[in-house]
Structures are given as C-alpha cells and as structure tokens.
Structure 1
Amino acid sequence: MNGGAEDPGRTLVRFARAEDGEAVERIRDGMAQERQMQIGEVAERTGLSLRTIRHYEEVGLIVPSARSKGGFRLYTEADVGRLMVIRRMKPLDFSLEEMRDLLEITDRLGAQDDPPGPLERERLRERLDAFRRVADARCETLRARLAMAEDFAATLRDRMKADARAQAASEQGASGGPSAEA
C-alpha cells in the first residue's frame, strides 16, 4: 500500500479495524471522503442501541452508507444526523410511518442532484409545516404533563419534610428535651 502511487487519482484509505480484525478500506476517487463509523460508534454517539439502529434499517428509516469487506455496516456523519432526527421524534410519539414520511420530505427538500421545482417545494413545505405544528402541539402537551409531574414530586418532597419535622418533634419530646414549662 503506497498511498495510491499506481494511480494518482485513486487513494486507498484505511479507516478502522472491523470487529473481526479486518481492515475497513475504501477507495477515494480524487474527492473528499467522509469518515465512516461502525455501528458501535454510531450507537454510542446517538445513544441508540445496536438493535434499535438495525431495526430502523429494517423498516427503511436509515440505510448504512457502505459496508466493510466483512459486511459490517458503515455510517457517515450524515447518517448520525439522520438518526438524531429520528431519536428526537421518538418522545413526540411519531409513528414509524410518520417518521418515514417526514424524512422523505426533508430528503426531498435537501436534494442536490434533482432539486424540487417551485410547486413541489411548496407542497413539501406545507407538509413539513404540518409536522411542525404537530410537534409543537405535542411539545406543549409534554410540558403540561411535566409540570404536573413536577408538582407531584414537590408534594412528595413537602410530605417528606413534614414527616421529618414530626419525627424530630416526637423524638425530642420522648427524650425529655426542652419542655414548655421552662
């Protein structure tokens, strides 16, 4: 491996070692190459389990950018970003179908090779805005639920403090502490 001396337009790039010890390599054809990550690193960076990432692949929400010679999934920063979008949708109870629809909208709006025309762009933006309104409404619902949960936790803290004071007063009275006669 001499850095592509045989062909100046092609450079062999060694990225990492796969789980089986095999080198993960890609040929770079004279253009900038994104660093690729194996599924374990992606899981660590996104906070998602390996199983969840594989499930998202099975249902078509994510597609690994490449595979190593040994068949290991390889992901790019763009893939990590897409998984983070999916992860942020999860607490808002979007279904897999809704996630897929939203990702298709954002993919189409971001298409560089075949950008949408003005009419298509307007329809996509309307659909995207509908998702934004749903997300806003669900966030408001979550804020209301969180406020109730925080009120409940405060009630429990207050109850614990009141019980601690009552117990301290009871122990003080039982031990012959300062009395009201003095």
Structure 2
Amino acid sequence: MSGYQRYCRWHDPRYKADGPFWPYLKSDKVHLCPTFKVLARTMAHLHPSHDPSIPIDPYYSYSMNAYLGSKSGAAGGGVLKQSEITRSKSEVFFFSEENMWTRPGCNNVLNDNALCPDGRDWFGTFHGAKRGDWNGGTVNAVFVDAHVEKVRSGLRTVDNQADISDTEFNGFEKYGWPFKAPPP
C-alpha cells in the first residue's frame, strides 16, 4: 500500500489482515486480547514512527511463532506439521503477544502477526504489570500441545539493564525454537 507505515499495521483498518494462522481462526474477535485493546488506546502513540493520522483501532494483538512456518527453522514459508516439531510440544509456543512500544535492549515491536523469537521480536510484558512499569509483566502464550501459560519475556529489564536469563540458545525467546537440535 502506498504510504504504508509498517508499525501501524496492527491498528490500520486500510491494511488487509493476513498471516499464516489468520484463515484458521474465523472470528475476528479471537485475534485481539481485550487487555491489549484497552492498553492500545493509551499506549499506541509510543510505537515507533507512529502516524497520528491513522486511528488507533487495533484488530489483532496475537502473533504466531514464525519458526513454525518453515522446516529450515528460518522464519517464513509454509507451516510445520505437528509431527515435524521434534521438541516437546509443551515447550514450543504457537502464538502469543508482543508489545507495541520499544523497551531498553529491544527496539523491535509489534508490526505484523509473525513473532520471530530469535532476538528480532519478544513476548509482550503488559499483563499483570504495575502502572508505570509496563515492561514488568507477562503475557499468555498458547503452546503447540494446546496448553496456555503465562510467560515472561526473555529480555526483562531491571533498572534498565538487559536480563537474558529467560532466553534460550544465546538470545532466542524461550519456547520459540521447535527442534531438539539447537539452531545452526
């Protein structure tokens, strides 16, 4: 689209909703967390390159694990069958949420519905966060085995210092990699 502002995609009604798991979830309401929708009304101006001419009307907040979209482990192309995931299905997230704002140590924010858990994208931090510390909470993640669990982002901050104790494979978001063997 001409003049498209990529960081506004999640709330720009001119942009067609798409993504690998979008067609499988028929109701539009399941793509948007009610907490995120409320938070977006007050926090959306914090996302990078915000265009104030685009109304804040979020239509999704959940992002699919991009590593489930490729047999090579790189984001993009096709969708892995459940039988092709060699790691325990309870250890691989299927979809979760991202923040719409940057935070210390992380300049990547929600801009599409593919969460790349290799340091490009990170789980959100806003559920259960204290007002004024939106980076201190958790988000719900749905796992391949269909259980839901609260997760902390691998890039938490305490006094604006990066903490990667919840990451895997030297900086991957925990629960992202779908294979027993570590990434190449």
The structure with the larger Rg is: 1
TM superposition score normalised by structure 1: 0.26
TM superposition score normalised by structure 2: 0.26
Flag the structure with higher strand content: 2
Flag the structure with higher helix content: 1
